[in-house]
């Protein structure tokens, strides 16, 4: 069996490892510096020290789904529900644009109030007012026709984490109505339509094994998404998983680095969940290979209500200063925030191998 540095080097050079070697890498005991340095090297070769910012607008916390891990699941009667109006959403964009954001991410639960017509109207208006910005949707599983309609209205990107690529594990995280096969269908439809697609999974969700994670990586190799979002699972008291412990920061960081080496060109966020479990979680994520941060642009009055998990950061009085706060944090990690649309960089034909 290869040593840890040998595994890292092979992964960096070939962007792949056989299952047993991936398992050894993921379960390795001891410091990860060699891995983080390799990931940072790959990241700097492609993206330099640039960090892209995405303005996240959490516009509804109503959801028709009942995922066992999620704080805004339908059956959580303690969740105080809200929706932002089209005008409120546009105000968030206006404010975000002035702060230097060139990507707006509209994220919400699967809320039937937002019919295709309403989503299309919002997207059309953002497109009209901010022609130089990317519009990212993160509103769950829809029909191919709906995805096409949003795309035609001007949306460019779509985030839909697959959550887990293991069929039994997927079943244990979701009630019967939801199907891994449909989620995958959505992701391939989105890609075919022409969206830049983001997928991903939670690290340390209840019942997750190293084998599940390897299946996640294999699924991502097949999908070849432009963006991959991962963060630790964090428990929420009003869910069936309330008693399940949160995921590990260390394993999340290790996976960020593994993803950077397997997908050198991917856009990888240092997630809010990572920043929630560790005061310097996002900085550590950047140093492990992440190159995106997604601060919240939602009105301060609703931020606490979009509570997927407990103790979420950036929901208090400090929230309005996220841009400045993040700039200092990114700077302290050795990178810099840029005002740019931040599209995925694709490799040219000669660059591979």
Determine the 3-state secondary structure of 50 from DSSP: strand
Residues 292-311 that bind ligand FES (CB under 6 A): 295
DSSP state of 339: -
> Does 325 contact ligand FES by CB under 6 A?
yes
> Does 326 contact ligand FES by CB under 6 A?
yes
Q: Minimal distance in Å, beta carbon 280 to ligand FES?
A: 11
Are 234 and 246 spatial neighbours (Cβ–Cβ below 8 Å)? yes
Of the ranges 19-27, 97-105, 124-132, 228-236, which one interacts with ligand 5AD (CB under 6 A)? 228-236
Q: Minimal distance in Å, beta carbon 334 to ligand FES?
A: 17
Residues 189-248 that bind ligand FES (CB under 6 A): none
When CB distances are held under 5 to 8 angstroms depending on the partner's kind, the choice from ligand 5AD, ligand FES, none that residue 195 binds is none
When CB distances are held under 5 to 8 angstroms depending on the partner's kind, the choice from ligand 5AD, ligand FES, none that residue 325 binds is ligand FES
What is the C-alpha separation between 349 and 353, in angstroms, rounded? 10
Residues 30-89 that bind ligand 5AD (CB under 6 A): 69-70
> Does 174 contact ligand 5AD by CB under 6 A?
no
Nearest of 219, 203, 218 to residue 162 by alpha carbon: 219
| Alpha helices (runs of H) in the chain, residue ranges in sequence order | 4-14, 19-27, 33-47, 86-98, 116-129, 144-153, 167-173, 180-193, 210-223, 249-262, 272-277, 281-287, 300-303, 322-333
Of the ranges 86-94, 105-113, 224-232, 318-326, which one interacts with ligand FES (CB under 6 A)? 318-326
> Does 270 contact ligand FES by CB under 6 A?
no
What is the C-alpha separation between 271 and 290, in angstroms, rounded? 9
Nearest of 75, 303, 301, 54 to residue 156 by alpha carbon: 54
Q: Using the rule CB under 6 A, which residue among 309, 314, 315, 333 binds ligand 5AD?
A: 309
Nearest of 115, 117, 105 to residue 306 by alpha carbon: 105
Of the ranges 10-18, 116-124, 226-234, 290-298, which one interacts with ligand 5AD (CB under 6 A)? 226-234
- Report residue 254 as tokens: 């290790």
When CB distances are held under 5 to 8 angstroms depending on the partner's kind, the choice from ligand 5AD, ligand FES, none that residue 308 binds is ligand 5AD
> Does 279 contact ligand FES by CB under 6 A?
no
Partners of residue 201 on adjacent β-strands? 163, 230
> Does 273 contact ligand 5AD by CB under 6 A?
yes
Of the ranges 33-41, 51-59, 101-109, 322-330, which one interacts with ligand FES (CB under 6 A)? 322-330
> Does 322 contact ligand FES by CB under 6 A?
yes
Beta-sheet strand order (sheet of 336-338): 292-293, 50-53, 336-338
When CB distances are held under 5 to 8 angstroms depending on the partner's kind, the choice from ligand 5AD, ligand FES, none that residue 270 binds is none
What is the C-alpha separation between 103 and 350, in angstroms, rounded? 30
Q: Can you give the binding site for ligand FES, defined by CB under 6 A?
A: 295, 314, 318-319, 322, 325-326
């Amino acid at each position: 069996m290869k040593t840890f540095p040998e595994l890292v080097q092979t992964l960096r050079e070939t962007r792949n490892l056989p299952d047993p070697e991936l398992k050894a890498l993921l379960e390795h005991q001891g410091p990860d510096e060699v891995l983080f340095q390799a990931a940072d090297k790959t990241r700097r070769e492609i993206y330099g020290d640039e960090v892209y910012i995405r303005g996240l607008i959490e516009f509804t916390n109503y959801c028709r789904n009942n995922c066992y891990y999620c704080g805004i699941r339908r059956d959580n009667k303690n969740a105080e529900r809200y929706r932002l109006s089209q005008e409120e959403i546009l105000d968030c964009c206006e404010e975000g644009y002035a702060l230097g954001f060139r990507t707006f991410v509209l994220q919400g639960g699967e809320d039937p109030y937002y019919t295709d017509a309403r989503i299309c109207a919002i997207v059309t208006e953002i497109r009209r007012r901010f022609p130089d910005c990317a519009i990212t949707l993160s509103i769950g599983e829809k029909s191919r026709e709906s995805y096409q309609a949003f795309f035609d209205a001007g949306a460019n990107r779509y985030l839909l984490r697959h959550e887990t690529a293991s069929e039994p594990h997927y079943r244990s995280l979701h009630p019967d109505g939801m199907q891994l096969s449909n989620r995958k269908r959505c992701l391939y439809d989105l890609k075919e339509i022409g969206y830049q697609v983001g997928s991903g999974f939670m690290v340390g969700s209840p019942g997750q094994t190293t084998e599940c994670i390897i299946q996640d990586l294999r699924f991502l190799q097949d999908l070849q998404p432009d963006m991959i979002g991962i963060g630790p699972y964090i428990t929420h008291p009003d869910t069936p998983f309330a008693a399940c412990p949160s995921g590990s920061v260390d394993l999340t960081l290790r996976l960020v680095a593994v993803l950077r080496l397997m997908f050198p060109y991917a856009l990888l966020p240092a997630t809010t969940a990572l920043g929630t479990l560790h005061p310097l979680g996002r900085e550590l994520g950047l140093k492990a290979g992440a190159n995106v941060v997604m601060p919240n642009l939602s009105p301060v009055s609703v931020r606490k209500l979009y509570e997927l998990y407990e103790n979420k950061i950036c929901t208090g009085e400090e929230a309005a200063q996220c841009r400045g706060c993040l700039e200092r944090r990114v700077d302290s990690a050795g990178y810099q925030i840029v005002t740019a649309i931040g599209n995925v960089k694709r490799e040219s034909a000669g660059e591979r191998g």
